[in-house]
Amino acid sequence: MSDVIIQLVLSGILWGSVYALIASGLTLIYSMMSIINFAHGDLLMLAMYFAFTFFLKFNIDPIYSFPVVIILLGVVGFIIYKILIRRVIEAPMFAQVFCTFGLGVFIQGLAQFIWSPIYRNIPTPVLSGVWRIMGISVSKSQVITAIVAISAALLTYIFITKTKTGWSMLAVSQDSEAAALMGIPVEKIYSLTWILGAALIGLAGSFMMEFYYVYPTVGTVFSNIALITIALGGFGSIEGAFLAGLIVGVVESFSGFFLPSMLKPVIVFSLYLVVITVRPKGLLGRVS
């Protein structure tokens, strides 16, 4: 029995670190400009399609094409900020919600137009097979993905808390007008935030293509989980999002084992409702 539990915890953490990576991009954008990006999962879907296309057209595996996918997603993030988000940054929160919903629908339409609604995956990923250690088996691709995800989230965290540019981002997030008075180019910091947030998604999407399939609405599933994750961790808390990502992964893994898989989302989303009832600002949210 303890083997099963270790196995479940491990696979939960593997998935959880992916959730944490996806959520870290979302929470970064939220904490900088208080915009909940409902199209976040659709950016993930786009990244997965990019990785898939590199494989399809040039036979390049995602573990080699990911730097390009990251750059491409960064560019997409930059364009989204410049064309769309910049114009709704002063708008009521509600307009921001429906604006990013619209963006998500648009990206889904685009994906369906370009890649058709068929489920796609990479039949022969480089990272295939499993490792067996003391009776516990883990898929190689998921272990590598988890390591990449945790490193990327850590690097982002270090960048924000230890560098001057990171502090400028924190300054903008805490008081954008005062930041402008310090000579910080607030617009550029916002652009950087979107580039960074989308690039993190690019990384997640690339590696997920090693073991997951892609279709135009795949993002919705991950959007919802990412939204739950950042709310569970406490809006604006980067550490909280990371922690919550791991928790969601483990909870999902256990409920998937003990309950019909149909009920997996029920447990995960109920977890949020239970936590939020006890802690209305999430796990690590600031009570202001």
Partner 1 sequence: MTALLKLTNIAVAYGDVPALFDVSMEVKSGSITSVIGSNGAGKSTLLRSIVGLNRIHHGSIFFQSTQIDRQKTEDIVKSGISLVPEGRHLFPRLTVTQNLIIGSYYNKNKQSVLDEIEFVFQIFPRLKERHRQLAGTLSGGEQQMASIARGLMAKPQLLIIDEMSLGLAPIIVEELFDLMIKIRSMGLTILLVEQDVTSALSIADYAYVMQTGRIVLEGASSEVLNANIVKTAYLGL
Partner 2 sequence: MKLPRKFTEYAILIIIIVTIFIVPHFVSSFGIHFFIILTMYAIMAIAWNWVGGYAGQVSVGHAVYFGIGAYSTAIVQEMFKLNPWFGLLTGVLVALLFSLAVGLPTLRLSGRYFVISTLAIGEIMYSLVMGWDFVGGGGGIYIKKIFYSFRSLTFTNIISYFYLIFAFFLLSTVLTIWLENSKLGFYLRAIKGDDEGARALGVDLRTNKQIALSMSAMMTAICGVFWVNYASFIDPESAFINTISVRILLMAAVGGTGTALGPVLGALIIIPLTESSRVLFGSSGRGLDLLIYGFLIMIIAVAQPRGIMGLFNRLSKPQKIDQELIT
Query: Using CB distances below 5 to 8 A depending on partner kind, what does residue 135 bind out of partner 2, partner 1, none?
Result: none
CA of residue 266 relative to chain centroid, distance: 20
Beta-carbon contacts of 259 under 8 Å, excluding residues fewer than 6 positions away, are: 267
Q: Quick one: which of 116, 128, 163, 174 contacts partner 2 (CB under 8 A)?
A: 116
The interface with partner 2 within residues 156-185 (CB under 8 A) comprises none
Least CB distance to partner 2 at residue 206 (A): 23
Widest CA span of the chain, in angstroms?
Answer: 60
Nearer to partner 2, 18 or 271 (CB): 271
The interface region with partner 1, picked from 115-123, 129-137, 140-148, 176-184 by CB under 8 A, is 176-184
Q: Is 180 in the site for partner 1 (CB under 8 A)?
A: yes
Q: Quick one: which of 123, 135, 183, 260 contacts partner 2 (CB under 8 A)?
A: 260
DSSP H stretches of helix in the chain: 2-33, 40-58, 62-80, 86-88, 93-115, 140-162, 164-174, 176-181, 186-208, 218-233, 238-258, 264-278
- Under a CB-based contact definition with an 8 Å cutoff, are residues 194 and 29 in contact? yes
Q: Is 89 in the site for partner 1 (CB under 8 A)?
A: no
Q: Quick one: which of 185, 221, 258, 263 contacts partner 1 (CB under 8 A)?
A: 185
The interface with partner 2 within residues 185-244 (CB under 8 A) comprises 216, 220, 224, 227-228, 231, 235
Distance CA 172, CA 246 (A): 28
Distance CA 99, CA 140 (A): 39
Query: Using CB distances below 5 to 8 A depending on partner kind, what does residue 227 bind out of partner 1, partner 2, none?
Result: partner 2
Burial of 77 (0-12, 13-18, 19+ CB in 10 A): buried
Q: Is 171 in the site for partner 1 (CB under 8 A)?
A: yes
Least CB distance to partner 1 at residue 177 (A): 7
**Pairing state between β 130-133 and 136-139:** antiparallel
Query: Using CB distances below 5 to 8 A depending on partner kind, what does residue 88 bind out of partner 1, partner 2, none?
Result: partner 2
DSSP string across 129-183: SEEEETTEEEEHHHHHHHHHHHHHHHHHHHHHHHSHHHHHHHHHHH-HHHHHHTT
Query: Using CB distances below 5 to 8 A depending on partner kind, what does residue 102 bind out of partner 2, partner 1, none?
Result: partner 2
Q: Quick one: which of 95, 114, 182, 266 contacts partner 1 (CB under 8 A)?
A: 182
Q: Is 79 in the site for partner 2 (CB under 8 A)?
A: no
Q: Which residues bind partner 1 (CB under 8 A)?
A: 164, 167-168, 170-171, 174-175, 177-186
